[in-house]
A and B are shown apart, each in its own frame.
Chain A
Amino acid sequence: MIEVKDLHVTFGTNHVVRGVDMTVSEGECFGLVGESGCGKSTVLGAIAGRVKRWQGSISAAEADLRPERRTLAQLRLQQMVFQDPFGSLHPRHTIGRALSEPLEIHGIPDREARIEQALDRVGLPRRFRFRYPHQLSGGQRQRVAIARALILEPKVLLLDEPTSALDVSIQAEILNLLKDLRQQQGLTYVLVSHDMAVVTHLSDRIAVMQDGTFVEVAPRAAMISGDLAHPYTRMLREGSLGYRPTEKEAL
């Protein structure tokens, strides 16, 4: 579905992404983990079209993407969900307006029905379409952001830390929603997170990134069992298991 070959991104003198190769097949969830500043969001931004200057090649659904300009069809194929649900919705548009914008841009008919269907799918009451974002909680806003991404019926959902701005209890809700949506609609996900637990919960394969390159790509089972090759991956995994008293302290 998505193929990235030898991707390089440079901001000024800062070489952020140094030769990334990845292939995501249809229906797969591909996770990207790493600490802040390792370039994982930049990789996602390059695929999405947010980052406009990169070298290498990216193709989605067998069509090569160019760095500068994309066609409406290419944009429609993949939609992005942002980290901060407070910043990703226009503060002066009602939910209904936010959901109808993408339909208007792409000239899709039956807007009313599609908006109601989109709200149903993410588990929000239909009357929410008349509300403004400031009348919604963080979790509800993130559901709206997901609905907005899905309303164009994309094949690929690009998730940029979709839960890290939310409360822990809401995080699980959103993750399960994403999991259900993927099963129902056969979506392909690329998920970026610094949280190993979140990535492992959702992803089939997980790439660990450090200093702009992949140090290891491991299947989910290996991530859970700890059967990992690279010391940095092991370190991240250890860190995500939380605090455990060592034997010495226990004594």
Chain B
Amino acid sequence: MTTTPKLRAWLLTEDFTSARHARAHQAYLSWLRFSSNPLAFGGLAVVVLLALIAALAPWVAIYDPFAQDFSRALQSPSAAHWFGTDELGRDVYSRLVWGARTTLYIAILVTVIVGPIGFVIGATAGYLGGWVDTVLMRVTDIFLAFPSLVLALAFSAALGPGIENAVIAIALTIWPPVARLVRAETLTFRQSDFVVAAELQGASTPRILFRYIVPLCAPSVIIRLTLNMASIILTAAGLGFLGLGAQPPMPEWGAMAAQGRQYLLDAWWLTAVPGIAILIVSLAFNLLGDGLRDILDPKHGS
């Protein structure tokens, strides 16, 4: 990252001339702190790469992920097929690239569902308190009491296998900790003077929730959701492995690993390649989450 000295000085000065300047300054400081952490930076790089691969899958993949060719079944990795071929002669590399789409789709969809639910339930319970808090938290407790993979299994089995149902099943098991986190954060801010000041100025409850409480809870929730991405991917892969997630012939990393299991001794790449991909991406999301915690969490640093 090369920045011209003039721009750098403009970004670093605290003598702001506009609201945009102030925001640019904040963003630049965060970026400096984030980029000084090589592990987090590596995590971000992998996640960005994953997103690029998923977005550009038709161009990145060499072969059609669905094209079967029995004459080329179970070939080991070579120049033509970088990660070999599977039992139906499909190119594993191309399927891995298209599988990135499925993986990212599930992870993002679950996060988009879980984030708002966690925010609304947690912030409402924490801010309003009383019986609202009791009811919402007991419901959360009920969901927390189920073992998550088993609950996801049950939902997938009940709703029928498929990606959308896997997403719903995973979302159902992941929102309670987020709601708890938001509630705990809300409780710490609820009695603070700046919230009372807003109340005494006549701010309405939705205004206080969305302008005061939510922005303050957002950093820890974003961190939590980023860290959750890894477990979402693992759960999705687990459901896929058990045949309850993506259905064949759709490429999905968990399902790919499961199919390769039958040929584990003869064709190790069928299981190892998607397995390594799951490992790298989960690790990257965890590292990114840790890095974000360093820059976003007000309890770390100034």
- The answer to whether A88 touches B16 (Cβ under 8 A) is no
Asked whether, in the complex, the Cβ of A80 is within 8 Å of the Cβ of B200, the reply is yes
Q: List 16 A-B contacts (CB under 8 A).
A: A48-B200, A50-B200, A79-B201, A80-B200, A87-B192, A87-B194, A88-B194, A91-B194, A91-B216, A94-B22, A101-B198, A105-B201, A130-B16, A130-B17, A130-B21, A131-B14
Interface residues of chain B: helix, strand, loop or mixed (majority): helix
Q: Is the CB of A84 within 8 A of B22?
A: no
The answer to whether A76 and B298 touch across the interface, beta carbons within 8 angstroms, is no
Assess the A94–B298 pair: CB atoms within 8 A: no
Task: Give A5 to B177 CA distance when docked, in angstroms.
Answer: 48
Report whether A75 and B194 are in contact in the complex, using a CB–CB cutoff of 8 Å: no
Count, chain B residues at interface, CB 8 A: 28
Q: What per-residue 1/0 map shows which CB atoms of A90-131 lie under 8 Å from chain B?
A: 111010100001100110000000000000000000010011
Quick check: is B265 within 8 A (CB to CB) of the other chain? no
In the complex, which of the residues A80, A90, A127, A132 contacts B17, with contact meaning CB atoms closer than 8 Å? Answer: A127
In chain B, what residue has the closest Cβ to A73? B202
Tell me the B77-114 residues at the A interface (CB within 8 Å).
none
Q: Known contacts A88-B194, A90-B194, A134-B302: does B22 contact A105 (CB below 8 Å)? A: no
Contact status A94-B19, CB under 8 Å: yes
Complex contacts, A101 vs chain B, CB 8 Å: 198, 201, 203, 211
Does A127 contact B193, Cβ atoms closer than 8 Å? no
Q: Which 7 A-B pairs have the closest CB atoms?
A: A130-B16, A88-B193, A87-B193, A130-B22, A75-B202, A102-B201, A82-B193
Asked if B58 CB lies within 8 Å of chain A CBs, one says no
Asked if A14 is at the interface of the complex by the 8 Å CB criterion, the answer is: no
B197 A148 Cβ-Cβ under 8 A: yes
Q: From known contacts A94-B19, A135-B14, infer whether A75 and B201 are also in contact, taking CB-CB under 8 Å.
A: yes
Given A130-B17, A134-B302, are A75 and B200 also a contact pair (CB < 8 Å)?
yes
CB of A162 to closest CB in B, whole Å: 12
Asked if A132 meets B22 with Cβ closer than 8 Å, knowing A101-B203, A105-B203, A105-B207, the reply is yes
For the complex, give the distance between the alpha carbons of A134 and B301 in Å. 12
CA distance A175 to B14 in the complex (A): 28
A84: nearest chain-B partner, CB-CB: B193
- In the complex formed, the residue of A with least CB distance to B26 is A132
Residues of A within 8 A of B216 (CB): 90-92
Other-chain residue from B14, B192, B200, B203 in contact with A79 (beta carbon distance below 8 A):
B200
Taking CB atoms, residues of chain B closer than 8 Å to A94 are 19, 22
In the complex, what residues of A have CB within 8 A of residue B204's CB? Answer: 105
Nearest chain A CB to B224 CB, angstrom units: 18
Q: Which residues of A contact B17 (CB under 8 A)?
A: 127, 130
Q: Is B4 an interface residue (CB 8 A)?
A: no
Name the A residues within 8 Å of B14 (CB-CB).
131, 135
Cβ contacts under 8 Å, A34 to chain B: none
